Structures are given as C-alpha cells and as structure tokens.
Amino acid sequence: MNDEQRDTLNTFFVDTFNKILSLEEQTLLKSSIENLSVKELHIIEAVSILQRDKKNTMTEIAAQVGITVGALTTAVNVLVKKEYLSRRRSEKDRRVVRIYLTEKGMRAEMHHRIFHENMVSNVGEVLTEEGLENLIIALKQLTSFFNGQLEDLKEK
C-alpha cells in the first residue's frame, strides 16, 4: 500500500465513522423517540438481539456493547427511568437479572433497525455481486482487526 492509498483509507474510515454517528443522531432527533443518545440506542439494540436468544443478562449485554458491567448498570438505570428497558429476576435463578425492552424500547429499536436496513440496502443495491463479496471480505478483515485490538486492550 502506498502513502496515497493509506491516506485515502484513513480519511474514508474517519469520515464514514463520523458521518454514521452524526446521521444516527440526526435521525434520532427527527424521529418520535425522545431523550435518547446513540450510545443508549446501541444498548437497546443489544438487548433486542440478546433477548431473542434468551441471553439478555447484564454480562452478555455488556460484552455485546463492549463496556463493563458497571458502566452498563449505570446506563440501564437511566434507560429504566426513561422507560425504554425493564429488569426482571429469573424465575429459575433469582441471582440472574434479565433486561427486557419495553413497548417504548421496541419502538426505538425498530426506528434504529430501519435506519441500518436503509444504510445496508443502499450499499447493496449499487454494487455488483463481485463488488459486494469483495466489500464483505474487506469488512470482515476490518472487523477482525478491531476485535484483535480490543482483545489486546483487555490483556493490558
């Protein structure tokens, strides 16, 4: 890779990341969803995904979002007060607390899912099959890099 390609990739990654976050925030503000940050929305998304598989415990949610259980506890407390999430103890093991989406949480997650579906569809519709496969390979490599970096940070 030459310097120009390196600079182009770096600019693309930084620009794309910032634009996705900005667009998510703007979309959130224009929706009927109230008083919710993008970070909170990503916690709601994780709860939705894990709830389907009955893995909606604090530990699993924290791992999915990439934060500590302590940080998640603070965020969940806020989201419970805002009525997006609820907590329930497991019937089988009272030590286990599960987190669930409320009706309000389900609506927020649906808006967020539609945003992501539109983003993915837009990219998928303009690429050839080969282009799409190459993009998927490249993004898998990028994801692998990020996962490796996160693992390295955990070990330090």
Tens digit of each residue's pLDDT (9 = 90 or more) over 109-149: 998 899 889 989 998 899 999 999 999 999 999 989 988 88
Q: Is residue 3 part of a domain?
A: no
Q: Is residue 20 part of a domain?
A: no
Q: Is residue 16 part of a domain?
A: no
Q: Is residue 73 part of a domain?
A: yes
In the block, residue with structure tokens 């934060």: 67
Q: State which H helix or E strand residue 86 sits in.
A: strand 85-89
Q: Is residue 141 part of a domain?
A: yes
CA distances from 70 to 74, 84, 90, 95, 100 (A): 7, 19, 20, 16, 18
Summarised one tens digit per residue, pLDDT across range 2-36 is 999 999 999 998 999 899 888 888 888 787 787 89
Q: Is the pLDDT of residue 155 over 90?
A: no
Number of structural domains in the chain = 1
pTM of the model: 0.81
Q: Is residue 68 part of a domain?
A: yes
Q: Is residue 27 part of a domain?
A: no
Task: Domain of residue 150: give its range.
Answer: 32-155
Q: Tell me the average pLDDT across 52-81.
A: 94
pLDDT at 93: 83
Nearest to residue 27, comparing CAs of 119, 112, 107?
A: 112
Question: Torsions phi, psi of 128, nearest 5?
Answer: -70, 170
pLDDT at 149: 85
Residue 34 one-letter amino acid:
E
